[in-house]
Structures are given as structure tokens and as C-alpha cells.
Amino acid sequence: GAVVSQHPSRVICKSGTSVKIECRSLDFQATTMFWYRQFPKQSLMLMATSNEGSKATYEQGVEKDKFLINHASLTLSTLTVTSAHPEDSSFYICSARDLKGQPNTGELFFGEGSRLTVL
């Protein structure tokens, strides 16, 4: 299957700093990527849909100024948590679909996730 890579896998930062998480599709092009947030022992909550070359679409309740998303190329989307606070500590997971040559079956390929800890 297609490979999606996230970096960093773990990051610890001080409160008030900003943290950038990268999501790359390694062997396919992704016009759309998705960012999810997962709290311990809970399901994945969609934060936003990242669209290459245009603004991200945020889910209700997600602060767009807090979670900046940039999708500058067909293989890279970034999530920046600005002025991070302890309550932003979470597991962030990105995903993408490989649409090339295949009908859209809705399957998503997921990155390994990035665990953010804000002190």
C-alpha cells in the first residue's frame, strides 16, 4: 500500500512555543490530506482537511489560528500548533489517499503519528 510518513514522531516543547509536524506521501501524490487528533484511549477526531494549493477546511470547533495547516506541494502537508499549551498535548495523525489510476474507494493511508507533549 501507499506510504505516508510523519515527522517528528515525538516532540516535547515548552508552553507558548510553536511546533510543526510534517506529513509526507512517499510514493504517491496527494491533493488532499487529513489531520486527526487522538486523545488517550479515544478515537480519532478529524481536525481539518488539507487541500494542495488552497486553504484547509477545518472541522467545527477547531481553531484555525491555533492549528495552521499548509499544503504547499502534492506530497507534503504541515500542521503547526501555535503557542502550544499543555491541553494541546495529544497524538496527531495525518492521512492521505492515493487516487492515481484507482477508483476512489475512500481508503486512507495513515502516517505513524506524532505525539506532542507540551510542558
Partner 1 sequence: AQSVTQLGSHVSVSEGALVLLRCNYSSSVPPYLFWYVQYPNQGLQLLLKYTSAATLVKGINGFEAEFKKSETSFHLTKPSAHMSDAAEYFCAVSPRRGSSNTGKLIFGQGTTLQVKP
**C-alpha Rg value of the chain to the nearest Å:** 14
44 vs 82 by CB, closer to partner 1: 44
42 vs 73 by CB, closer to partner 1: 42
Q: Note the residues at the interface with partner 1 (CB under 8 A).
A: 1, 4, 6, 32, 34, 41-44, 46, 49, 57, 91, 93, 95, 97, 103-113, 115
**How far apart are CB 52 and partner 1 at their closest, in Å?**
13
Q: Which three cell numbers stand for residue 109?
A: 493511508
Go through the chain and tell me how many residues it has: 119
Do residues 80 and 94 touch, judged by C-beta distance below 8 A?
A: no
